[in-house]
Amino acid sequence: MNEKKFVHWRKFSKLTLWSSAPLLLACLLSGCGHMRVGASSTPIQPIQLGVNTPSSITPSVGDVSNIYAQAVPSICTITSVHQNHTSDNEPTEDIGTGFIIDNQGDIATNDHVIAGSETVLVAIGSQTYQGRVLGTDKLDDLAIVRIPTHIYRPLSLGTATDLRPGQNVIAIGNPFQLTDTVTSGIISGLHRSMPSIGQREMNNLIQTDAPINPGNSGGPLLNANGQVIGINTMIVSPVKGSIGIGFAIPIDRLKKVMPDLLSGKQVKYPWIGITGYTVTPILAQHYHLPAPYGVLVIQVLKNGPAAQAGLRGIHKTDSANLSNAELITAVNGKAVHSVSELTSTISEYRIGQKIYLTVFENKRAQNIPLILGTFPEDE
């Protein structure tokens, strides 16, 4: 019998909350990055789970039931078959979720659901099809799979731009092979950041307490009008199951890259080529930084856009006097308070476009011109 497993979020190293500025500096200079995003007395890891009218009215049980009935015919189970190179040579199957997005048989899911698969099987209704992967976006964990039929109705794609914490949401997926499972909850938070791959974060994630579990990967997060506002992608939990902290990729991100995914083009992102750390008022006070917010430039990658613009990062010889370090506080005059804000702001511009970074160095601000590069595939 084939081994089956449910798709989990990429396992990252132990999440850490820096409790003191000296410890922070020591870790930064020894190579720890800004990708550490949380803390607990118990190590907690992100686990990859296998335009709309705002909803301010709490849906009743009947409303959830109606939304479910309308949406579930468009939800599918995605099984990714991998060749097992162990002694028994039996293939393994990863199980996730997807949903119909157009009238051409195209299905949205997570990249990690289908990554490395030799065969992708899509079960929807009573039918099973062999899917073809059209395109993937590994950095933002998105993928589109096509099946050879046009008979299924697409879900309505909404927007996450006008969401508010406390609004009601519904998740549908296939946790633990329990197909078409529906759960409900609220939006717990917005603009969350979690690690992606390399020196990058996934930003502006939707946080929800709607129970999401392994196998929900790639399934829709719906608003009270039945529109897709996000794609469920990960949870934070000390166990391999939900404790009410789940995250979804805003559907707007899929809509932005959909033309590239459908055409099989590589999704490219603008890049400045630094490793940075978010400055807080406490950190700024401790190290006498010139601003209580922004991004401290820790490392400048060789031959990257920032290096070509003249940024140098922190050298170990400078570590005793961070007050003279480079601190980015704005992009084209727009203030950036954190690494996630800097990444999000940079993504609004085009590769090859000139921008101006407001950078404090030796406590003096200057506007430094920089030509945006392309985020390298191997980062």
141 as an active site residue: the answer is yes
Tell me the CATH number at 326: 2.30.42.10
Candidate list 55, 74, 217, 338, residue with the active-site label: 217
CA 241 vs CA 102, 105, 187, 194: distances in Å: 31, 31, 19, 18
Number of domains comprising the chain? 2
Please check whether residues 198 and 296 belong to one and the same domain: no
Query: Within a domain: residue 7?
Result: yes
- pLDDT, one tens digit for every residue, the chain (379 residues): 344 444 444 332 222 223 233 333 333 332 222 222 222 333 344 555 543 334 434 445 448 999 999 999 999 999 999 887 665 677 888 999 999 999 999 999 999 999 999 999 999 999 999 999 999 999 899 999 999 999 999 999 999 999 999 999 999 999 988 999 999 999 999 999 887 765 567 889 999 999 999 999 999 999 999 999 999 999 888 877 788 999 999 999 999 999 999 999 999 999 999 999 999 999 999 999 999 999 999 999 999 999 999 999 987 656 667 888 999 999 999 999 999 899 989 999 999 999 999 999 988 999 999 999 999 876 5
Tell me the CATH number at 191: 2.40.10.120
Query: Within a domain: residue 357?
Result: yes
Query: Within a domain: residue 282?
Result: yes
Please check whether residues 53 and 175 belong to one and the same domain: yes
Domain end among 265, 299, 328: 265
Please check whether residues 302 and 217 belong to one and the same domain: no
Query: For residue 75, what are the domain limits?
Result: 1-265
Please check whether residues 61 and 210 belong to one and the same domain: yes
Candidate list 63, 111, 140, 141, residue with the active-site label: 141
Q: In the beta sheet, which residues pair with residue 77?
A: 97, 123
Residues 121 and 130: their CA atoms lie apart, in Å, by 5
Say what the pLDDT of residue 174 is.
95
Query: Within a domain: residue 379?
Result: no
Say what the pLDDT of residue 207 is.
97
Query: Within a domain: residue 368?
Result: yes
94 as an active site residue: the answer is no
Say what the pLDDT of residue 313 is.
92
Please check whether residues 221 and 112 belong to one and the same domain: yes
Say what the pLDDT of residue 123 is.
97
Residues 282 and 289: their CA atoms lie apart, in Å, by 10
At a CB cut-off of 8 Å and minimum separation 6, what does 183 contact?
170, 171, 210, 211, 212
Please check whether residues 317 and 242 belong to one and the same domain: no
Please check whether residues 244 and 287 belong to one and the same domain: no
Please check whether residues 93 and 128 belong to one and the same domain: yes
Residues 260 and 298: their CA atoms lie apart, in Å, by 33
Say what the pLDDT of residue 46 is.
53
Please check whether residues 44 and 129 belong to one and the same domain: yes
Candidate list 112, 188, 196, 237, residue with the active-site label: 112
217 as an active site residue: the answer is yes
How many secondary structure helices (H) and strands (E) does the chain include? Answer: 7, 22
Query: Within a domain: residue 210?
Result: yes
Please check whether residues 17 and 165 belong to one and the same domain: yes
Say what the pLDDT of residue 202 is.
86
Query: Within a domain: residue 316?
Result: yes
Which of 136, 210, 192 is CA-nearest to residue 220?
Answer: 210
Please check whether residues 261 and 278 belong to one and the same domain: no
3-state class percentages of the chain: helix first, strand second, coil last, to nearest 5: 20, 35, 45
Please check whether residues 116 and 206 belong to one and the same domain: yes
Query: Within a domain: residue 320?
Result: yes
Domain end among 206, 239, 265: 265
Tokens of 32: 């720890």
Domain end among 239, 265, 291: 265
